[in-house]
A and B are shown apart, each in its own frame.
Chain A
Amino acid sequence: MTSLIEVPDVEPVAVAPKRKSGQGGGLGRYIVVRFFLIIPTIFILVTLVFFLMRVIGDPITAAQGGRLPPDVLAQRIHDAGYDRPIFVQYFEYLGQVVTGNFGTTITDRRPVVEMLSTFGAATLELSINALIVALAVGIPLGLLAAQRRDRATDAFLRFFAILCYATPVFFSGLLLKLTFSVWLGWLPVAGRTSTRTELAMSSLAAPSGIYWLDALRSGNFAAFGDVVSHAVLPAIALGFLTAGVFLRLVRTNVIGTLGKDYVEAGRSRGVSEFRLVTKHAYKPALIPIITVMGLQIALLLGGAVLTETTFEWKGLGYQLVQYLNARDFVAVQGIVMLLAVIVAITNFIVDVVAALIDPRVRY
C-alpha cells in the first residue's frame, strides 16, 4: 500500500527529468513506433504478392502444366496442398513466413531461403559498388554545380543529371559494353568472374558470396583483379543512374544553404569560396540528402534487376527473371518478398538516422 501512495509523489519527479533530457526518451519512442509501422507495410506486401501470384493459378500447374500427365499433376498439387481453399493456404503461408520458411522452389527444388542468401550476396555487392560510384560522382559534381550556379558548368551538369535519369540502365550498359569490351577490349563483357577465378575461390572455406571479399581472402591478386574488372561496368551503369539523382539533390540543397546568413558571414570574414561550399554549406545540406538517399534504395533495387540481366550478373534480379520465365512462382514470391522487406527496413533506418540528425523530425 505504501508503494501505491508513493507513486503519485514519484511520478512528477520521474516525468520532469524526462522532459528535460527530453529528446532521448522522445527518440526512443519514435524509433519504437516507427519500427512497428514496418509490420503493416510488409504484411500488405506479403498479402498483395500472395494473392496476385495465386490469381494466375496454383504454382505447380504454372511451372509444370503441360509437361506432366494430368493425374501426376493433380497428385503433386494435392501433395503440396494447393487444392485447399485459398485462405487456408494464405494463413499457412503467413505462418511459414513468420518462422522464416519460404518454401522450396519448384523448378530446381532448392530451399528459397538458401537461394536468397546465395544470390542476395551478389546483388548486395552490385548495389554497394553502384552506390560508391553514385556518391563519388554525384556529390562532387553537385557541389560544383551549386558553386557555379546558373553558369555554363551548372547548365551542363544539370543536363548531365537529367541524362543520367533518362538513360535506361540496359542502354547505358549496352553502350559501355560496346565501348569498353567490344571495341577497346579492356573489360570483360558479362558475368561476375572468369571461370578460373571462380575455381580458385571455390576452395575457400565459408565463402561470403561477395566476390571481391572472397578474392582478397584467398590472397590471389590475379583473382582480385579479375573480379574487379568484371565489377566495373555494371557498377558504372547502375551507379550513374543514381548519380544523377544525387547530383541534383546536392546541388539544390547546397544552393539553399549557400544563401544562409552564416555563409555570408563566413564570406565576409574571407573564407575561400571552395571552403564555403565544401565545409559550411555542404554539411547542413547533408540531412535531406541522407533521407532521399534511403529512398533511392527502391530505385537501386529496380535498377539492379535490369543491370543484372544486362551483364548476366547472377544475383537476385537475374534469378528473378529466370524464375519468372520458368513460371516458378514460389521462388518469385520469395525474391519479391525479400526485396520488399529490404526496402521497408531501409526506409526505417533512414527515418531513424534523419531523426538522430534533426530533432525536429520526431513527432
Chain B
Amino acid sequence: MSTATFSGPKKSFLSGLPVISHLNKSVGLQRGMLITGLVLTGFFLLCTILAPFIAPYGYSQLSDQSGSFPAQQAPSSKHLLGTTVGGYDVLSRVLWGSQTAVTVIVVAVAMSIFLGVALGLLSGYYGGWLDRVLVVIADAIYAFPSLLLAIVMSIVISHGQSSFWGGILACAFSITVVFVPQYFRVIRAETIRLKAEPFVESAMVLGASSMRIIGRHIFKNATRTLPLMFTLNASESILTLAGLGFLGFGIEPSSAAEWGFDLNKAMADASSGIWWTGVFPGIAIVLTVLGLTLVGESINDLNDPRLRGRKRAGGKPSRSAAAVGQGGNTGAGTGSAAGNGTREAGNA
C-alpha cells in the first residue's frame, strides 16, 4: 500500500483520478447513482461557468430597453421563469446563484481543509495539552447545531449587512467554523494511527525533522479521505448557505444572487399562489445538493469493500466502519487504499 501511495503519481491524483477510478470500479445501481451525481454536478458547474453567457439578464437587473420588469409576473416568453416580487428575473437569478454557491463552497471548504488538516496534523503528532484543548473545543463545536453556529458567526463577521465579497466571506467563514472540527477529527485520528507505523519510525531514525515527517510522510497518507469529505461538505455548505440566506443573514440581493434569499422572499408569495418565485431556486438547491451527495455517497460506498459490489456483506454502517478505520483497525481502510493505489498505478 505504502509504495503505491508513496511513489504513486500525485499529479494524476490531483487531476480527478479518484472519481474516475471509482467509476471504473462501480457496477449496476452504484454506477447509476455515481453517474447521476456526476451529471448533476457537471450541469451545476456548467451553469456556473456559463452564467454570464446564458443568463438572459443580470442578477440585479430590474429593467431593460423596454422599461422596468413587472413584479411577480408569471413565466412568459420574456421572463422564462417569471419575475420576483422585487422585479428580478427568476431564471437569471437561479443561474447566477450557482456562481455564488460555487464561490462560497470553494472558499469555505478550502479554508476548512487548510485549518482542519493543519490543526489535525499538529494535534495528532505532538499530542499533549495542545491536543487535549483542541479536542475538547472541537467536540464542543461539533455537538452544536451547525446552522446556529453559522448564524452567530455571520452576525459577528458581517454585522448583518454585506457586499458581494463581504457576504461571501462571511458565509464562508461561518461554514468554515462548522467544518473545521470534522476535518480536524478525521486527520487527527489518522495521524495518531500513522505515527505508530514503521515508515514514520524509520523516518525518525533517519533523523528527519518533525516538520518533514508531518509534511511528507503523514500528510500524504492521512488525507486520502479528503475527496469524500469534500463532496459531502460541499453539499452541506450549500445547505448552510441557503439556510443563512433564508433567515436573512446571507448576501444582499443587489450584490449577488443567492437561492436561499430568494426562497425567503418567495415565502410570502406562496400564500397567494405565486409558485414560480420559490419553486425554481428551490429546485436548483435540491438538484445541486443531490448531485454532490450522490457523488459523495457513491465514493463512500465504493471505498468500503463491504458496501461495494453486490454480494451479501456482513457490513456495519458506514459511519461506524469509518470510525473503526480511524480508530486503529485499518482492515477496511487499508484495503480500499490499496485498491485506489493499484488502480492509480494502473492508470498512470
Query: Residues of A with Cβ closer than 8 Å to B?
Result: 40-41, 44-45, 48-49, 52-53, 55-56, 150, 154-155, 158-159, 162-163, 165-168, 170-171, 174-175, 177-178, 181-183, 189-190, 249, 252-253, 255-256, 259-260, 288, 292, 298-299, 301-303, 305-306, 309-310, 320-321, 324-325, 327, 332, 336, 339-340, 343-344, 347
Contact = CB atoms under 8 A, between A and B. Distances in A.
A84 B78 CA distance: 60
A183 B145 CA distance: 34
Given A52-B153, A298-B145, A336-B148, A44 B140 contact: yes
10 contacts: A44-B140, A168-B282, A175-B279, A249-B317, A302-B146, A305-B147, A306-B243, A320-B151, A343-B143, A344-B143
B297 interface: yes
Given A260-B314, A292-B319, A168 B243 contact: yes
A177 B269 CA distance: 11
B201 interface: no
SS of B interface (majority) = helix
B136 interface: yes
Contacts of A45: 140, 144
Interface of B: 28-29, 32-33, 136-137, 139-141, 143-148, 151-153, 155-156, 159-160, 235, 239, 242-243, 246-249, 260, 263-264, 266-267, 270-273, 275, 278-279, 282, 285-286, 289-290, 293-294, 297, 310, 312-320
Contacts, number: 167
Nearest to A174: B278
B267 A310 contact: yes
B290 A324 contact: no
Contact of B248 (A48, A49, A292, A321): A321
A256 B313 CA distance: 7
Contacts of A306: 147, 243, 246-247
Contact of A48 (B140, B146, B159): B140
Nearest to A163: B290
Contacts of A305: 145, 147-148, 151, 247
| 6 tightest Cβ-Cβ pairs between the two chains A and B | A171-B282, A302-B147, A302-B145, A166-B289, A44-B140, A259-B314
Contacts of B285: 166-168, 171
A244 to B, nearest CB: 10
Contacts of A158: 33
Given A305-B247, A324-B249, A166 B146 contact: no
B294 to A, nearest CB: 6
Nearest to B150: A302
Contacts of A339: 144-145, 148
Contacts of B249: 324
B242 A168 contact: yes
B30 to A, nearest CB: 9
Contacts of B160: 327
Given A52-B153, A325-B248, 10 more contacts: A56-B159, A154-B29, A168-B243, A252-B318, A256-B317, A259-B312, A302-B147, A305-B151, A310-B267, A324-B249
A298 B28 contact: no
